[in-house]
A and B are shown apart, each in its own frame.
Chain A
């Protein structure tokens, strides 16, 4: 029974995601929008690994997301014409940065932890903004694009066929989600939950809390950078806005909106957020006000998120 209950949400998510290009198209969306939902959903789920399951508030995850994007873009532009290499370089760049910064901040807690992550998030923004000979500066990095995938005799033209690219992204998303889920179910993942619930008690049990927090930060940053690399490939473009503070805030609101105590919540949140942003920004110049008001309303009236509310209904 418990196995079934665990498998049900994952199967539902799988069915919805595999069929998304069709049903999203039927309600007025397009394939690229579906891809964006999956990519940003992965970033929000990666953040939620830290936020919802370790209980640590990072408000600077755009840094690792953006570094993943720049890593991928620069690998394609300067290194070699290979999507796989690009993703690998992006993930490596973001993960290394998360490992270094994580080591500096694991001793901090609560709001202070949040503040330091915000501040550190900006470092990479300024670096990409200023170092324009390499990063393209404010205009972004152009002059490259994703390429068809080749695996021996098999070829998948993800460059020109949006649908093929969607399934490429979805495959990587599936692997990432499976790994995150497995980590959370492992003894290590349970220890993270224990730290979230009662850090002092976990410490008394002899758990090296700082090391666990650091590892969780690195894992979370690593998956965020995977999302960032895919984001760059999706747009064939990357600019410093991908790693600015407002992007970090967007990830947090996606996680909260969907429900940060549930595994799939951030994906739901990303879906709502991306569709809403797409809708509002195509109709008004003042989309910032709408997004801002949306933040305020979610915090005041919907803090548990979609899945949090649904689950409460189900158990009541």
Chain B
């Protein structure tokens, strides 16, 4: 029993890491541009399928390395030619446009790669369990946890130390002042969008190795990411990370005791948080109003 709980906590942590990775990208875009990127899951799926196509040519590691930046490049183009036109308009339109894109992406992956789920090849060195007692601790899972941790660490480092990161953070507080001080806000938002999509791409490639490839992989991961942002607190990236991990573990543990509530538990948590702290666990009180 203890092992079962441990297994599901660990599993929940991994799933939560996906949610967090995806939610961090969503949060970056939302905070700086005020757009809820409904197509985020679509970008995730495209990255995963792209890696699948690349692997026969460049190997597993090459796919992991190449697919996310290629997807981010697509993101830069989409932002430049579609999403940028909507920044001054009611947030409704950004939501509708990315919603339409999500449809197109999902359908495109189905058209190009088929509706059936595809097996995602993982190198043999990563599939063997690390110990026989904890048989579920395959190298791949441990590797994933480390990689997500590294990616999140790198993201926070970029935001804290680099010029781009500092400008992104400043822009989320007061974009107008940042613009007046000589930063090209258009480019800033474009790069920020690309950064968010890069994170989604990374999550996609990793998720494909664990969950397998299906056209709906993106739309099944995006809803929990919204919940992660709301639970963690609007406007706070550490909050988003915390929210992702929390709901991942919560649904992992619920799987043991009450499997049919695996998803519902996240929303119960969200309701509870909104009741007690409408701005989320680590959010800034004024931001949501």
Chain A interface (Cβ within 8 Å of chain B)? Answer: 51, 57, 59, 104-105, 107-112, 114-116, 118-120, 122-123, 126-127, 130-131, 245-246, 249, 252-253, 256, 286, 288-289, 291-296, 298-300, 303
Contact = CB atoms under 8 A, between A and B. Distances in A.
A245 B223 contact: yes
B133 interface: no
Interface string B83-94: 001100111110
Nearest to A130: B260
A120 B264 contact: no
A59 B95 contact: yes
A252 B92 contact: yes
Interface in B50-104: 82, 85-86, 89-93, 95-97, 99-104
Interface residues of B, number: 48
Given A111-B36, A122-B223, A286 B96 contact: no
A130 B261 contact: yes
B104 A292 contact: yes
A115 B264 contact: no
Contact of A249 (B99, B104, B110): B99
B237 interface: no
Contacts of B288: 107-109, 112
A123 B151 CA distance: 30
Contacts of B102: 292
B104 A119 contact: no
A244 to B, nearest CB: 9
Nearest to B30: A111
A55 to B, nearest CB: 9
Given A286-B111, A298-B96, A300-B97, A115 B226 contact: yes
Contact of B101 (A57, A107, A245, A292): A292
Contacts of A288: 103-104, 106-107, 110
7 contacts: A110-B34, A120-B267, A122-B223, A245-B219, A286-B111, A292-B99, A295-B103
A300 to B, nearest CB: 7
A126 B91 contact: no
Interface stretch (B9-17, B175-183, B187-195, B268-276): B268-276
B89 A115 contact: no
B96 A295 contact: yes
B289 interface: yes
Given A288-B107, A295-B99, A299-B100, 13 more contacts: A59-B95, A107-B278, A110-B34, A111-B34, A111-B35, A115-B226, A115-B230, A119-B230, A122-B223, A122-B263, A293-B104, A294-B100, A303-B89
A114 B91 contact: yes
A189 B237 CA distance: 39
A245 B222 CA distance: 11
A102 to B, nearest CB: 12
Of all A-B residue pairs in the complex, the 6 with the closest CB atoms, nearest first, are A295-B100, A292-B103, A292-B104, A288-B107, A126-B263, A123-B267
Nearest to B97: A299
B226 A256 contact: no
Given A130-B260, A288-B104, A289-B103, A299 B96 contact: yes
A229 B162 CA distance: 55
Contacts of B82: 296, 300
B150 interface: no
Contacts of B267: 119-120, 122-123, 126
B32 interface: no
Interface in B246-289: 260-264, 267, 270-271, 274-275, 278, 287-289
Nearest to A292: B103
Contacts of A298: 96
